[in-house]
Amino acid sequence: MEKNVVVIGGGPAGTTAAISARRYYPNASIKLIRQEEKVLIPCGIPYVVGTVRFLEKNLIPDTVLSKNNIELIVDEVTSINKEAKTISTITHNTISYDKLVLATGSSPLVPPLQGLDLDNVFVVKKEIEYLQKLLDALDKAKDVVVIGGGFIGLEFADECKKRGIQHVTIIELLHHCLLLACDEEICKRVEQKLKERDVNLLTDKKAESILGTKKVEHVQLKNGERVKADVVILGIGVVPNVELAEKAGLKVDKKAGVWVDDFMRTSDEGIFACGDCAEKRCYLSGTPVPIWLASVGTTEARIVGANLFTTRKRMECAIGIFSTCFGDLAVGSAGLTERRAKELNIDVVTSTITAPDKHPGGIPGAKELGVKLTFEKDTGLLIGGQVYGGSSVGELINFIGALIQHKMRADEIATFQMGTHPMLTASPIVYQIINAAEIASTRR
Ligand SMILES: Cc1cc2nc3c(=O)[nH]c(=O)nc-3n(C[C@H](O)[C@H](O)[C@H](O)COP(=O)(O)OP(=O)(O)OC[C@H]3O[C@@H](n4cnc5c(N)ncnc54)[C@H](O)[C@@H]3O)c2cc1C
């Protein structure tokens, strides 16, 4: 009998789940339903401001669906009847399924700030028309205020400078930007780089309200200061889209997402969930964690695709691996920071190694590459890593993520075999990950 799969959501998770389902179940009928005609690459949204410039150049091509024989339906799903195994859409279609995948994503977190309804105040929606209005407003702006110094806020701020905006200010509640993802010493490097790139940073500051008559004019801080603003961009986080699942009677936590087991099954055996709408659990404590990343969502989606009709793969909890860059400085983080580990009362040993990313260090284009590894003291288990340097950071942090996922210990990593090349890597003598692990293993 032909298997009938319906995926709700056309973002990174829904698209990947549909493609994986095709690979594992070549004869299945697969439909993907999404609200948008065209889907933006969400991680590329900040780069539309300065680097890419046009929203149309930042799209997930629909050919990834057509090439995989996935039927695309643009519509909004309004309800799920899990007993009848059907969904209803806004155009009054009823579609049946054998297996349903929820990949309904997330929406921007909107804080209870006065003045949010003023013109030129934007959150980061993944919608073309909405973002076009932001771009149009930026074209007339001299003063832009970004509220939130996480990676999305910083990327927007840096891109606003690239667009030629005169004054760009970031307002961050915590002591440093990026502090939820990186340890202080790495945050400081990023802050220094942003200052060099003429971004104004106001850390340890709380935005209290947004002021203006029709249009935004200022952001009022709790300390009484006012920051001039023609445009305000809020990038303070997201909330999972769980309404459909909740209405259908699935187990849901409004903040954490749709509950899933280790095989990405929801509380109903015919329904799976993945991506930002699905709950993530910390790989150490097993408790829910707010890790909303396309990288994690697509890993979950591949597990969903594999498990739809036969249980094949298990999700190893969410490690949370991220990277970003500002000019020639890239930073990445995987797993727990030293700070977070200490908050969780985990006794840690850390080691940081810095060396050129080519050898000899005088080779043209060589850059300083720093690796910090954090190990659990008792067991020597790698629980976190951070990297800063040039463009190799993006892949190096993924490698560290794999070491964490595979539960490697300091003494094992210290004797890891690596390949090195003068033009491509650090010298084998100073190779950062291995030296950091070797030193940490002697400190335990
Ligand atoms: C500016 C920005 C930068 C980011 N940068 C990075 C990065 O560098 N790296 C990274 O890993 N992550 C990044 N992220 C996070 C990443 O974008 C999200 O984790 C990712 O988009 C989640 O994918 P998703 O498919 O779960 O959900 P979404 O992308 O939110 O997609 C949800 C989909 O569900 C559909 N949908 C929802 N409800 C319905 C309904 N009722 N009926 C029909 N369709 C429905 C929507 O139409 C949409 O197609 C960034 C996010 C933003 C906003």
Q: What is the pLDDT of residues 89-139, one digit of tens each?
A: 999 899 999 999 999 999 999 999 999 999 999 999 999 999 999 999 999
Residue of 80, 91, 100 lying closest to 30 (CA atoms): 100
Q: What is the pLDDT of residue 337?
A: 96
Q: What is the pLDDT of residue 317?
A: 83
Nearest CA to ligand 1 atom 26: 275
Four-point Cα dihedral 136, 165, 127, 172, nearest 10: -140
pLDDT beyond 90 at 370:
yes
- Distance between Cα 276 and ligand 1 center (Å): 7
Strands 4-8 and 143-147: unpaired
**Contact yes or no for 216/229 (Cβ under 8 A):** yes
Question: Which atom of ligand 1 is closest in space to residue 108's alpha carbon?
Answer: 53
Q: What is the pLDDT of residue 283?
A: 85
Question: 3-state DSSP call for residue 47?
Answer: helix
d(CA 259, CA 277): 9
CB of residue 152 inside a 6 A radius of ligand 1: yes
pLDDT digits (tens, 9 = 90+) for 206-247: 999 999 999 999 999 999 999 999 999 999 999 999 999 999
CB of residue 48 inside a 6 A radius of ligand 1: no
pLDDT digits (tens, 9 = 90+) for 159-181: 999 999 999 999 999 999 999 99
Nearest CA to ligand 1 atom 38: 104
Average pLDDT, the chain: 96
- H/E segment holding residue 354: strand 348-356
pLDDT digits (tens, 9 = 90+) for 327-346: 999 999 999 999 999 999 99
286 pLDDT tier (thresholds 50, 70, 90): confident
Q: What is the pLDDT of residue 64?
A: 98
d(CA 166, CA 383): 41
Question: Which atom of ligand 1 is closest in space to residue 36's alpha carbon?
Answer: 47
Nearest CA to ligand 1 atom 44: 34
Judge whether 43 counts as a catalytic residue.
yes
Q: What is the pLDDT of residue 269?
A: 94
DSSP code for 276: G
1 pLDDT tier (thresholds 50, 70, 90): low
- Distance between Cα 105 and ligand 1 center (Å): 5
CB of residue 203 inside a 6 A radius of ligand 1: no
Residue of 321, 227, 306, 234 lying closest to 274 (CA atoms): 306
Both structure tokens of 171 = 């307002």
Residue type, 119: D
CB of residue 278 inside a 6 A radius of ligand 1: no
| Averaged pLDDT, 385-408 | 96
CB of residue 245 inside a 6 A radius of ligand 1: no
| Residue whose CB lies within 8 A of the most ligand 1 atoms, among 15, 16, 34, for a mutation test | 34
Question: Which atom of ligand 1 is closest in space to residue 12's alpha carbon?
Answer: 25
- Distance between Cα 259 and ligand 1 center (Å): 18
pLDDT beyond 70 at 192:
yes
Strand partners, 226: 220
CB of residue 126 inside a 6 A radius of ligand 1: yes
Question: Which atom of ligand 1 is closest in space to residue 124's alpha carbon?
Answer: 53
- H/E segment holding residue 383: strand 382-389
Q: What is the pLDDT of residue 2?
A: 74
Q: What is the pLDDT of residue 285?
A: 83
